[in-house]
């Protein structure tokens, strides 16, 4: 999911980190369950979530509430369009 | 001893031949001395395994290539592509680098699937995101860093 997002926007860096091979990093972010995604070193998404939920969280963390609204409008259109 | 079973190799070979468009280069940052000479602080026990997995994957299509960079000897290249620890690998599609997409560590279990999906998506030039998600993600105008922690399953 993170890699798919990064593929669409070069400003987004996405690292998949094998926690057991990088224990110090995993410890820094208190990784106890996986997958766990850390956004900009502070926000987190734990567990496997839907792409929609992931993107909404991402938009919230970067402060683009306008895009959260835009996403909801687009999803509504998709629903109506079948 | 290959990591991929003959059946997996055949399945991947078929999928690659059907789906790959752009040429994909995987660049692995590793320590070439790993396994032969142990320099304290530079141990990389999984580096040879990562290289083996990637060698097997790229051998399954003429559109895939593996480039191996020594993290310590070619430190400038590592810095340029923003690699700060090893083993790490990243991608290019038709020579366009995607330095913002990286794996740190061995891609096994579920992450092996992620690796294959990444190769397929980069090669066709479109992510797996639905159009609505793609549209809003493209509009994010600040730098963001995502770190996804996983374990082998």
For the stretch A26-63, pLDDT in tens is 999 999 989 999 999 999 999 889 999 999 999 999 99
Residue ranges in chain B modelled with pLDDT below 70: 33-40, 153
pLDDT attached to residue B38:
65
What confidence tier does A82 reach under pLDDT thresholds 50, 70, 90?
A: low
Contact A12 B122 (CB under 8 A): no
CB burial readout B96-129, b (16+ within 10 A) else e: eebbbbbbbbbbbeebbebbbebbbbbbeeebeb
Please tell me the distance from the alpha carbon of residue B39 to that of residue B101, in angstroms, as a whole number: 29
Whether a cis peptide bond, with omega within 30° of 0, leads into B67 is: no
CA distance A36 to chain B (A): 5
Q: What percent of chain B has pLDDT over 70?
A: 93
With contacts defined as CB-CB under 8 Å, which chain B residues touch A29? 147, 149
Q: Which residue reads 């996405």 in tokens?
A: A14
Which chain B residues are Cβ-neighbours of A35 within 8 angstroms?
A: 148-150
B36 Cβ contact partners less than 8 Å away, ≥ 6 residues apart? none
Chain B: closest CA distance from residue A66 (Å)? 10
Does the CB of B5 have a partner CB in chain A at under 8 Å?
Answer: no
Residue in the block written with tokens 């070439």: B32
pTM across the whole model: 0.93
B72-111 confidence digits (pLDDT tens): 999 999 999 999 999 999 999 998 999 999 999 999 888 9
């Amino acid at each position: 999911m993170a890699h798919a997002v990064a593929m669409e926007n070069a400003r987004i860096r996405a690292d998949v980190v094998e926690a057991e091979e990088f224990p110090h990093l995993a410890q820094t972010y208190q990784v106890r369950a996986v997958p766990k995604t850390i956004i900009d070193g502070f926000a987190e998404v734990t567990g496997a979530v839907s792409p929609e939920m992931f993107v909404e969280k991402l938009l919230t963390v970067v402060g683009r509430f306008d895009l959260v609204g835009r996403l909801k409008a687009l999803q509504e259109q998709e629903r109506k369009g079948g | 001893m290959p990591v991929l079973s003959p059946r997996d190799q055949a399945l991947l070979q078929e999928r690659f031949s059907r789906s790959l468009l752009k040429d994909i280069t995987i660049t692995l940052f590793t320590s070439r001395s790993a396994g032969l000479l142990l320099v304290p602080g530079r141990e990389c026990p999984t580096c040879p395994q990562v290289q083996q997995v990637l060698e097997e994957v790229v051998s399954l299509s003429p559109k895939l290539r593996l480039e191996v960079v020594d993290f310590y000897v070619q430190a400038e290249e590592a810095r340029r592509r923003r690699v700060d620890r090893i083993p790490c690998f990243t991608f290019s599609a038709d020579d366009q680098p995607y330095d913002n997409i990286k794996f740190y560590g061995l891609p096994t279990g579920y992450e092996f699937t992620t690796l294959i999906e990444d190769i397929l998506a980069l090669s066709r030039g479109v992510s797996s995101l639905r159009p609505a998600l793609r549209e809003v993600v493209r509009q994010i105008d600040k730098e963001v860093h995502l770190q996804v922690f996983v374990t082998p399953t």
